[in-house]
Amino acid sequence: MKTIIAVLGLALMVTPALAATPQQERTKACNAAAEKKGLKGDKRKAYVKGCVSAKAKTKPKAAAKPEKKAARPATPAVPAPATTVPAQPSAASTANSATAKKQLKCEELARQSNVSPSTKKDFMDKCMAG
């Protein structure tokens, strides 16, 4: 019985030592950021030191909050397909041309605004109406 109590007491004393401290967490995050930036040597040491001290001064973020997603990279603009121009445009083709130009402008605006695919239809509808 004494052995069980001694083992449990020892386990309770060792457990906090195994948990990472906030300082260790900050250092780990800063090292990961330095790795992403490809820093090496003295530049890496200076970056990590500044990063850890800067994070120590600010309030720590809640662990439950998810990180923001990175913005989607801009996709290259797709040129309009080449069309042949009729000799005399009719009123219907002029209206189609204006609509097509407006649609291209809305597509470009959606691309620049990083509109997600799930909301793109609503965005396009509002853009085409306005």
**3 state DSSP class of 45:** helix
* Residue-range domain boundaries for the chain: 2-57, 91-129
The answer to whether residues 48 and 26 touch, using CB atoms and an 8 Å cutoff, is: no
Q: What is the pLDDT of residue 37?
A: 87
53-110 pLDDT, tens digit per residue, is 876 665 545 444 556 666 666 666 666 666 665 555 555 566 678 888 888 888 888 8
Ramachandran quadrant class, 41 (left: phi over 0; alpha: psi -120 to 50; beta: rest):
left
* 61 secondary structure, DSSP code: P
DSSP result, 13-30: HHHHHHSPPHHHHHHHHH
29-57 pLDDT, tens digit per residue, is 888 888 888 888 898 888 888 888 876 66
pLDDT-above-90 percentage for the chain: 0
What pTM value is reported for the model? Answer: 0.32
Q: What is the pLDDT of residue 62?
A: 46
